[in-house]
Amino acid sequence: MPPHIHISVDRLRRRRSTPPSKKPVGDGKACKACGAHFRAEELERNWGVCTTCDHHFPVSSSERITQLADGDEWRELWSELAATDPLRFTDLVPYTERVEQAEAKGVREALVVGELSVQGVPSLAAVMDFGFLGGSMGSVVGEKFARAADRCVETGRPLSVITASGGARMQEGVIALMQMAKTVVAIDDLREAAIPVVVVLAHPTTGGVWASFASMGDFTYAEPGALIAFSGPRVIEQTTREKLPPEFGLAESQLENGQVDAVVDRRELPGRIGSVLNILDRPRADIDDGAGRIARQGRERASRAAQALPKLSRRLRGRLGTGSDGGAE
């Protein structure tokens, strides 16, 4: 039997042949980090995490809230809010057309607020969706976040925040930038009311979102490999003409620099957040009584100190809460 003969026309014509692809043509279900193939249902069961290398794929906001709720039912709040076009902005296409294209994917806005229970603790979750215009923060995002904070103050429920955003929405100009201040004020209101805020930084968290509420959590976690920076490495390199280290802005580097408290696998987040909320969850009356008790103890200590030092000036004794005769008022 004659040997098999292979003739390449391209080689005879001195054309460079295309190297074989690492994955079959038309097969898009392969991990971009390790190249391992997977089935869609397999990735969904694993919460969007590669079973081979633990690479975290992006997931929608509704999926994230379902994960936090451990599969239980949850209720979306203020879903009727939708973006408008106050500046009548147009680049390659009108802003309204971009919003319509984004809504066609099944999401009304870049932030979804849900009322749910995390490990038995009633709470609210504000989750950003990078699939809606890059998770950009516009007027609706700021309004939903502010309303979520108000609801938490009214009900005493904690707030969990998951961010994934490219920053402020350029199509809304300065109106989008104003949301940075609006969300920061909302966080301040939560702190004054002693409401815990847990923030999870997903890939990517950049720009005005990272420069505002995303960096103000009482507990700040990050998903493995998430980019967390005000400006991404590509923008910085184009501006400074300097090559940045490959680990620049990644969650692991931010952990070393003290910007986050822990890098947590997505599959462990509900348990981690639930543990924190269960520790901090106390009735409002207990919190108020505790704060009052501490205040009363402080006044008593100050009074005793003033009585032990009778030669203090009248002004200083008044600041310590004592009367002119050295006794407590």
- The predicted-structure confidence for 101-150, as pLDDT tens digits, reads as follows 999 988 899 999 999 999 999 999 999 999 999 999 999 999 999 999 99
Pair 143, 81: CB distance under 8 Å = yes
37 falls in which pLDDT band (50, 70, 90)? Answer: confident
Which two tokens mark 208?
Answer: 């005005």
Partners of residue 197 on adjacent β-strands: 159
Partners of residue 201 on adjacent β-strands: 163, 222
Average per-residue pLDDT for the chain: 84
17 falls in which pLDDT band (50, 70, 90)? Answer: very low
Give CA–CA dist 39/29, Å, rounded: 7
User: Taking 90 as the threshold, does the pLDDT of residue 194 lie above it?
Assistant: yes
CA 145 to chain centre: 12
Give CA–CA dist 145/220, Å, rounded: 17
**Burial per residue of 286-297, b for 16 or more beta-carbon CB atoms within 10 angstroms, e otherwise:** eeeeeeeeeeee
Measured CA distances, 114 to 71, 128, 254, 287, 300 (Å): 13, 11, 28, 25, 44
Q: What does 260-319 look like in DSSP terms, one character per residue?
A: -SEE--GGGHHHHHHHHHHHH---HHHHHHHHHHHHHHHHHHHHHHHHH-TTS-HHHHHH
Which two tokens mark 102?
Answer: 């984004």
Residues counted in the chain: 329
11: left (phi over 0), alpha (psi -120 to 50) or beta: alpha
Look at residue 19 in the predicted model and tell me its pLDDT: 45
Nearest alpha carbon to residue 134 among 87, 177, 106, 169: 169
User: Taking 80 as the threshold, does the pLDDT of residue 297 lie above it?
Assistant: no
The pLDDT tens digits for 309-323 are: 455 455 545 555 544
Look at residue 328 in the predicted model and tell me its pLDDT: 41
